[in-house]
Every structure is written in C-alpha cells, then in structure tokens.
Chains A and B, each alone.
Chain A
Amino acid sequence: DAKTTQPNSMESNEEEPVHLPCNHSTISGTDYIHWYRQLPSQGPEYVIHGLTSNVNNRMASLAIAEDRKSSTLILHRATLRDAAVYYCILSDNNAGNMLTFGGGTRLMVKP
C-alpha cells in the first residue's frame, strides 16, 4: 500500500484558515486521495477525496499537487468543532476501496 506522511500535530486559531499537508511520494496512478477526520469519541468522518484535480465541498477544499506527490486539506475558517485527528489516506481503485490509516495529524484549535 502506498504510504502517506503527515505532521503529528498542528495548531490553529479559531476562524483562521488551516492548511493540513500530506506527502505521498509513492502514489500510483489509480490511487484516490482521501481525507477523513475523527473527533473525540467518534468514528472517522469523511471529509473529501480527489484523484487529480482540486476539489471543493461544504466542509473543505483539497489541493492536489500537479505531480500528485502531495496534497493539502484546507479548512477555510477553523472552528472549535474542527479539533480532531485528520487522516490522509490513499486508496487503490483496484483494492475494493480499503482504507489504510496512518497516524494522522491532530489539529488543535485555539479560541
């Protein structure tokens, strides 16, 4: 499985944008880039995913580098409820969409 590298933790101020980086230098052409987050005492929650182009949804934006070896999850205005562990995951199109979670980035949001 292709692996991802994320910082262990990041801090942000409330109502400011947050850029969460992810490196995936061994990504293959069929790998989707997924982001999930896990709030305390809850199961993971889907945030966004993409293949080659940048993606936007109501929760966040996903910026994918042209060579696809890195990506950035952008939360446009962090709130206290965004404090969670954010996981960047590669999922092989041909592997039944099995998700291989790494350590993730623990995002702390300061009021």
Chain B
Amino acid sequence: KAGVTQTPRYLIKTRGQQVTLSCSPISGHRSVSWYQQTPGQGLQFLFEYFSETQRNKGNFPGRFSGRQFSNSRSEMNVSTLELGDSALYLCASRVWTSGNEQFFGPGTRLTVL
C-alpha cells in the first residue's frame, strides 16, 4: 500500500498570505488528523476528520481550518499567516477504531517570511 502523501513538501509564504496544504491518506483509512511541529512547542494536534466531519479539535486559533472530501483526502488552510506559523505540518491517517495506530506522512515544511 502507498503511504500517506502530503503536498507540497516545502512552501514559502509571506505574512498575511494564506496557504492550503493537502493530504492523501492510505487507501481505506477514513480518518485524517493534522499536527503542527515546531522546535519550541513540539508536536501539537490541530484537528481530526472522519467521514467529512471534524471530530476533534486542538487548541489553535480559527485561522487554522480544515476539511475532508468524500474520498477521505483532506486539506488544511491557514489564513493571515504569521511568522509563528512556520512549522512542519504533519498529516496522519488511520482506521476509525479506538486504539489503532496512526500513519504519518512526511510533512509539509512551511516557512513564513
């Protein structure tokens, strides 16, 4: 099976712009989660989607949003970018069953100038 894929892998934006990141889960996985990783805060949960519905949300401002399509692919959007949004954004997919392992993609490295 192909793993979780994320596009683009690298992105440079300027403050105030918006960005959309894409994640394709492993075939058959209907749950997609997003995480932000920074040197200062570590890995932090953003949100999880299942069946096109947001099921869980982390403690991030409303500038961070996401959605999931009927084919389970997911996008996350960050509006009005700030310097502090520079991070590695990771997507993970899993089978929607408690306790199951999550499979992470390689991430999108976002740099905000």
Instruction: Give A contacts to B, CB under 8 Å.
Output: 32, 34, 42-46, 49, 51, 87, 91, 93, 95-104
Instruction: Give B contacts to A, CB under 8 Å.
Output: 4, 31, 33, 35, 42-45, 48, 50, 55-56, 58, 90, 92, 94, 98-107
A93 contacts across to B, CB distance below 8 A:
98-99
Cβ-defined contact, A91 with B43, below 8 A: no
Cβ-defined contact, B43 with A97, below 8 A: no
B31 contacts across to A, CB distance below 8 A:
96-97
Cβ-defined contact, A49 with B101, below 8 A: yes
A51 contacts across to B, CB distance below 8 A:
99
23 inter-chain pairs at a CB distance below 8 angstroms, sorted by A residue, are: A32-B98, A34-B101, A43-B107, A44-B43, A44-B90, A45-B104, A46-B101, A91-B99, A93-B98, A95-B56, A96-B55, A97-B48, A97-B99, A97-B100, A97-B102, A98-B45, A99-B43, A99-B102, A100-B45, A101-B35, A101-B42, A101-B44, A104-B42
